[in-house]
Amino acid sequence: MDMSIFREYDIRGIFNRNLTKDITFGIGALIGERIQANGEDSIIIGYDARVHSLNLYEWLQDGLTSKGIKVYCIGLIPTPVAYFATCNVIDGISTTNSIMITGSHNPPQYNGFKITLKAKPFYGQDIKELGNQLCATAISYISNFSKTQKIDALSSYQEYLIKHFEKLRNFPYKIVLDYGNGVGSIGMDRILDVLHIQYDSLFATPDGNFPNHHPDPSEEKNLLAIKDYMTKHQIPIGLAFDGDADRIALLSLHHSYKGDELAILFAQEMANKGMKPLVIGEVKCSQIMYDEINKIGKSVMYKTGHSNLKIKLKELNAHLAAEMSGHLFFNDRYFGYDDAIYGALRALELFLTHTPKELENNIKNLPHSYSTPEEKISATEETKFLIIDELYKILQNPPSDFPKILDIITIDGVRVVFENGWGLVRASNTTPVLVTRFEAKNKVNADFYKQKLLALIEEIKNKI
């Protein structure tokens, strides 16, 4: 069995290669045992638009029902609908457990499971232990011919958001949405229609082959179509979604808002309403974000990863958490999980008090810095964490020509604070790569820090 499918935040692999019928059945059976150990007996399952999601649903439900677990099917949905269903009573059904079958923004051959048990992410060591248990257990697929009950979580979710965002009715601007052939339109379009928000949609039909572009709005190349459409039709606001609609990108005609910039805007919105916002960011976020939020509230730096941030958000009872990639977690008026549809509507609220140009200027007037995009360095699953450990050791006594180090933050990887900026190197928890990002007062400083850190990494790679 390929243990690489048991990742930090979810289970994810290639359909019928390392995510097979027997393995999927076994995962269902072992999750069923954990549900029973928690004193519960039911779970909700939804799935995305990938061509093999229904196959995985059948195999997974048979594994669960083999342990006597009641399975409630919520059908083809965005991921946040599954989270919503664990926080609310749906059609008289109340359960704190869910599995979303999704490959998120991975290529079409991938699929996987995002698991919530007792209304908390099932991740990290729990996933690793499940993988080890499955590896040591003789499990083969048995069809249970079990019946599952369908419940309409999507309508409940939409009704909740329609009521919550009534102030957006007759929104003053037309918007355009790029769904990337994911499942975002299934959740979003009805809300926009009921609230009489004018919109155009790109690639709204769910298609697990993703024929138009890769469903990852954190990469600029995947935003070219929506940017061109906005420019051609002079539409001032754009929203782009990832494949399972738990990440969002906001665009205006002259700016693409990064996750940390959105965190600043939302924190300012909260402060304007008399709150002192407590906001959690990840290690890739700009220092400017932390500094700006600290002027009006308090910021906390934490690990990258949606499961990590959800847990930390609840632990600190923070108002908001944000990732550069577009995961946004609202806990001030919402349930604290990452929801691109909810996040998109919160973004539209910003334009009720600011014109698109005013919002652009708000970001433009922040202290200036130069930052590199996220860059990835090839490694292996075996070496990526070893490289980080060795890098930290070397930085305790760096080469004589290395720039002066003010601090080393080891929350997640190594974030090295220099006199005029910082550089980050961390091991990805989902792929065999190192992730880097650099920020400084100017490009010269950023490139210098990048050159010096990457040179050390190259030396380490050559030794390992």
> Annotated catalytic sites, by residue?
12, 104, 327
**CA nearest neighbour of 405 among 181, 116, 394, 413:** 394
Contact 41, 35 (CB under 8 A): yes
Contact 216, 105 (CB under 8 A): yes
Q: Where are the alpha helices (DSSP H) in 371-437?
A: 384-395
**CA nearest neighbour of 45 among 22, 19, 15, 24:** 24
**CA nearest neighbour of 44 among 7, 5, 16, 81:** 81
Would strands 248-252 and 278-282 be described as parallel, antiparallel, or unpaired?
A: unpaired
Quickly count helices (H) and strands (E) in the chain: 14, 22
User: What residues contact residue 429 under an 8 Å CB cut-off, 6+ apart?
Assistant: 7, 8, 9, 304, 305
Q: 409 pairs with which residues across the strands? A: 415
Sequence letter at residue 207 = D
d(CA 231, CA 326): 22
d(CA 34, CA 174): 47
Q: 114 pairs with which residues across the strands? A: 100
DSSP letter at 122 equals: -
d(CA 412, CA 388): 10
